[in-house]
Amino acid sequence: MKNKKRILILPGDGIGPEVSSIAKELLILLDQKYSLDLDISEGLIGGKAYDETGDPLPKETLNMARDSHAILLGAVGGPKWDDLPSQKRPEKGLLGIRSEFDFFANLRPAILSKELVSASSLKNEKVSDLDLLIVRELTGGIYFGEPRGEVEGSDEVLNTMIYSRKEIIRIGRVAFEAAKGRKGELCSVDKANVLEVSSFWREVMTELSSDYPEVNLSHMLVDNAAMQLVREPKQFDVMVTGNLFGDILSDVAAMLTGSIGMLPSASLNKTKKGLYEPVHGSAPDIAGENKANPLASILSVAMMMRYTFEKDEIALSIEKAVELVLAEGERTQDIAKENETTLGTREMGRKVLLTMESI
Ligand code: NAD
């Protein structure tokens, strides 16, 4: 039991359980194929947890999460719970997990399979073989800075952008390490021409770069970075930025790839414990219809293998299996062209699993 790799699956709401069940089958297959010694359990989160226990993040789930090396989330939320008070809403479950385990580093790859270039909003040559990684600081910056709120006795409201050296160094190290394992190009994004916090961010990133001589660090202002992402996205390899800028830039990058159903993410803390989840939400419009694309969830498992369990070769084989299935022309409805035959969630999952067995 001691050396087991403990994984907690939190399927959540909407399409969450549908895509998570495919990810679970994949984990069971990986366990057998690579003798990983996995211990997989499941828990409640979000609206379903509220319905069953009155709490979107029950104590039992938190205890199970504390005991795990990695957590795989489906999605939370849906119209059924929209009118609940904010403390009971499904999103509180997710925010609670993120803050409880200090998942400060959010990694969002934007990879465009060459099979899907037509799904992008940009011209083929601008995006084919796109492979960039956005590293976003997730637990600091203006989203958490104090003081915040209404200024007493005035007609003003305020938020505070704040970063400490320690916070910049820890996210910087994650980004430099990631760049080291890729093309060695890191672009740090800030607004140093206007914000003191950004000047400090730039200064600390530059200092840190002396620890990583193999990585070429550049800096870019956030307005230019947004423009460059939609103009020439392939100039980037790894981008690192604060919470606010990262929130926006990672969504821009996601759109370059065409479908939200393809995009995984990882949020890590300093012990490499990770929360892995598709970028998409619970998609209530297609929930329960076997229509959801399970590839983002499958690719989240690949990220788990790479970052928490340091099994890069397994991550690569999952990514290869997805690529092979797409190359065979298999599509779920969200990535299909008009009049193309499509597969359901389970059928697409089965295709990837069968391919994984054979490579
Ligand atoms: P969404 O990502 O759930 O859906 C947006 C659109 O993309 C929908 O048309 C949906 O059908 C489609 N889509 C999403 N995932 C898909 C997939 N795997 N395959 C095929 N199509 C897919 O975003 P939304 O509609 O803005 O939000 C719905 C609910 O999800 C809300 O309650 C929201 O709060 C919640 N949400 C949760 C998370 C999370 O759990 N991390 C993230 C975003 C939104």
For 240, which DSSP code? E
Which of 143, 180, 183, 272 is an active site residue?
A: 143
List of long-range contacts for 331-334, beta carbons under 8 Å, 24+ apart: 332/261, 332/291, 332/292, 332/293, 332/294, 332/295, 333/291, 333/293, 334/259, 334/260, 334/261, 334/293
Active site residue 143: yes
Question: Of the residues 282, 295, 298, 335, which should be mutated to test ligand 1's pocket, given the most ligand atoms within 8 Å of the CB?
Answer: 282
Task: Give the C-alpha separation, 189 to 193, whole Å.
Answer: 12
What is the number of alpha carbons within 13 Å of residue 159 lying toward its C-beta? Answer: 7
Question: Of the residues 260, 262, 290, 335, which should be mutated to test ligand 1's pocket, given the most ligand atoms within 8 Å of the CB?
Answer: 260
Active site residue 251: yes
Distance 280 CA to ligand 1 centre (A): 5
Cβ–Cβ < 8 Å for 259, 332: no
pLDDT at 103: 96
Q: Of all protein residues, whose CA lies closest to atom 17 belonging to ligand 1?
A: 261
Q: Of all protein residues, whose CA lies closest to atom 26 belonging to ligand 1?
A: 281
Active site residue 223: yes
pLDDT digits (tens, 9 = 90+) for 212-244: 999 999 999 999 999 999 999 999 999 999 999
Q: Is the CB of 282 under 6 A from ligand 1?
A: yes
pLDDT at 359 over 90: no
Distance 168 CA to ligand 1 centre (A): 31
Which of 191, 291, 311, 351 is an active site residue?
A: 191
**Residue 255 φ/ψ, nearest 5 degrees:** -65, -25
pLDDT at 1: 56
pLDDT at 279: 92
pLDDT at 251: 86
pLDDT digits (tens, 9 = 90+) for 35-53: 999 999 999 999 999 999 9
Mean pLDDT for the stretch of residues 100-114: 93
Cβ–Cβ < 8 Å for 133, 256: no
Q: Of all protein residues, whose CA lies closest to atom 36 belonging to ligand 1?
A: 281
Mean pLDDT for the stretch of residues 68-91: 96
**Residue 95 φ/ψ, nearest 5 degrees:** -60, -35
Q: Is the CB of 280 under 6 A from ligand 1?
A: yes
Nearest to 215 by CA among 135, 113, 305: 135
Distance 224 CA to ligand 1 centre (A): 29
CA 357 → CA 35, 156, 313, 318, distances in Å? 14, 60, 15, 10
Q: Is the CB of 18 under 6 A from ligand 1?
A: no
Cβ–Cβ < 8 Å for 241, 201: no
What is the number of alpha carbons within 13 Å of residue 46 lying toward its C-beta? Answer: 24
CA 2 → CA 65, 69, 124, distances in Å? 16, 12, 49
pLDDT digits (tens, 9 = 90+) for 272-318: 999 999 999 999 999 999 999 999 999 999 999 999 999 999 999 99
Q: Is the CB of 277 under 6 A from ligand 1?
A: yes
